[in-house]
């Protein structure tokens, strides 16, 4: 998906310039390209400086999932130097969710039948297949790439544009991949913890991947961007965010109720979730975390255990 911020920048330029001139249009596009490149370089430097990056492959890279997830947010490795600011943004995000996202999600769940909600979620997920496919290839996961391609073909045809997940029902299981995961596979550390306004938990590695690389792997996004159809891009992003949040709102409310420190719980769960995704972890009993950067969805697993809610939280591997 295209960075929503980029769409806002484009509108600002259009307000200040007379449209219809080819030269002015080219100037706007060139300036937008330069801004995008500058931000990408800046965030890339943050990744390189803020974490042990591009480490050589070692035994720890091949460690089993239990070992990978054993290290949680203990005091010595919280790596949250912006915690005070992050907590303020987290509080703002909670306000945004309380006044808008939770009511809309509740209304959506009550007004739309479950079968229709499943179909909509399947359709939106199917549109992300090219992003997953590109990252499968970049990670050297040929089997995963073949699976992703097969799922996309089957679901787009037999599954009627992806509304029915025929591939999964036929035993062809898939998993989402993004460039943040690809950087992790390549050895890039996550860096310090970030909470983005509206978008939620992140880190420099994921920020670079999802906002500045993955959009270029998305053919639909590229088509809409080239046609200057920012409204459709924003509508797709909003639909992804609403559908994702609606699918986990009840579980998320339970996490909030049972957490001693909700901020610390979400921080720990987000890091464990990303570590699991990078290592292609299986069968993690983690409560779902809505991905409010609206760039991909997380399918919730069964949630049937109360949560203590602290940095010492550890998932159970079945």
Q: What is the pLDDT of residue 43?
A: 44
Parent domain of 49: 4-111+178-278
The answer to whether residue 145 is domain-embedded is: no
The answer to whether residue 292 is domain-embedded is: no
The answer to whether residue 296 is domain-embedded is: no
The answer to whether residue 299 is domain-embedded is: no
Q: What is the pLDDT of residue 199?
A: 92
- The band of 150, judged by pLDDT with boundaries at 50, 70 and 90, is very high
* CA-to-CA separations, 253 to 73, 89, 106, in angstroms, rounded: 22, 19, 12
Average of per-residue pLDDT across 197-214: 95
pLDDT at 232 over 70: yes
The answer to whether residue 98 is domain-embedded is: yes
The answer to whether residue 223 is domain-embedded is: yes
Q: What is the pLDDT of residue 281?
A: 73
pTM score: 0.68
Average of per-residue pLDDT across 12-40: 49
The answer to whether residue 196 is domain-embedded is: yes
Secondary structure class of 241 (helix, strand, coil): helix
Average of per-residue pLDDT across 173-190: 95
- The band of 137, judged by pLDDT with boundaries at 50, 70 and 90, is very high
Neighbours of 109 (CB within 10 A): 15
Q: What is the pLDDT of residue 290?
A: 60
Instruction: Count the domains in the chain.
Output: 1
Query: Quick check: 194 and 180 in contact, CB under 8 A?
Result: no
Q: What is the pLDDT of residue 63?
A: 37
């Amino acid at each position: 998906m295209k960075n929503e911020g980029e769409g806002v920048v484009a509108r600002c330029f259009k307000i200040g310039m007379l449209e219809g001139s080819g030269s002015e249009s080219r100037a706007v596009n060139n300036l937008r390209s330069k801004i995008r490149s500058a931000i990408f370089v800046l965030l890339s430097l943050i990744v390189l400086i803020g974490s042990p990056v591009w480490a050589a492959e070692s035994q720890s890279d091949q460690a089993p999932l239990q070992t990978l997830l054993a290290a949680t947010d203990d005091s010595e490795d919280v790596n949250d130097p912006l915690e005070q600011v992050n907590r303020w943004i987290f509080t703002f995000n909670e306000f945004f969710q309380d006044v808008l996202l939770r009511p809309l999600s509740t209304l959506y769940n009550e007004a739309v039948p479950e079968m229709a909600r499943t179909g909509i979620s399947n359709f939106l997920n199917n549109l992300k297949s090219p992003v997953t496919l590109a990252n499968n290839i970049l990670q050297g996961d040929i089997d995963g790439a073949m699976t992703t391609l097969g799922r996309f073909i089957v679901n787009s045809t037999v599954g009627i544009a992806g509304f029915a997940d025929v591939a999964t029902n036929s035993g062809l299981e898939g998993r989402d991949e993004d460039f943040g995961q690809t950087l992790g596979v390549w050895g890039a550390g996550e860096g310090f913890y970030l909470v983005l306004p509206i978008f939620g938990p992140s880190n420099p590695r994921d920020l670079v991947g999802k906002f500045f690389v993955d959009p270029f792997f998305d053919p639909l996004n590229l088509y809409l961007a080239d046609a200057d159809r920012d409204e459709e891009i924003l509508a797709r992003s909003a639909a992804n965010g609403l559908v994702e949040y609606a699918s986990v709102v009840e579980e998320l409310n339970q996490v909030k109720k049972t957490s001693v420190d909700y901020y610390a719980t979400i921080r720990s769960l987000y890091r464990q979730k990303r570590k699991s995704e990078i290592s292609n972890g299986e069968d993690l009993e983690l409560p779902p975390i809505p991905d409010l950067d609206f760039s991909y969805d997380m399918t919730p697993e069964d949630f049937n255990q109360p949560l203590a809610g602290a940095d010492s939280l550890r998932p159970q591997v079945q």
